[in-house]
Structure 1
Amino acid sequence: MKPRIHPDSRFVVFRDRAADVAFLTRSTADSSKTIEWEDGRSYPLIDVEISSASHPFHTGYTRVMDTAGRVERFERRYGRAGTRD
């Protein structure tokens, strides 16, 4: 690798606020907030909205949308569409 063109990589704690899970990893991201980790050291803290701990694909939890009810509500509100000839 060429010297002085790559950003500095450091240990950073990412915290998933939805699942209340934190994990320590290496990243080039930086933050002014810090947190004391289990090893007693202080690391930059980055809060994320979603991670593998809370994402439906990884957790197996999915929400089922009531599409039939939405279609019926649309038809009540705007009427049934005419047929094409």
Structure 2
Amino acid sequence: PAVGSLGRLAVTRRARGLGVGAALVRAIEEAARDRDLTAVDLHAQTHALGFYERLGYEAYGPEFPDAGIPHRAMRRVL
């Protein structure tokens, strides 16, 4: 299947909790659908797993370091 990749999503501290991050993720998903992709993958910092889980992403595979920060792979089927 054709899978998109979401990388390096960041929202400033002042903008957190305002729905900016969720809106960005949803826009990326819409762009993926427009390109007939079937899923979106990302590598989430472990402290952000809950944010992505609330948006429908599921973690898979073991935790791994990226830039010295623990991450997990996640995917959402569109």
- Bigger share in strand: 2
TM-score of the superposed pair, with normalisation by structure 2? 0.20
Larger gyration radius, structure 1 or structure 2: 1
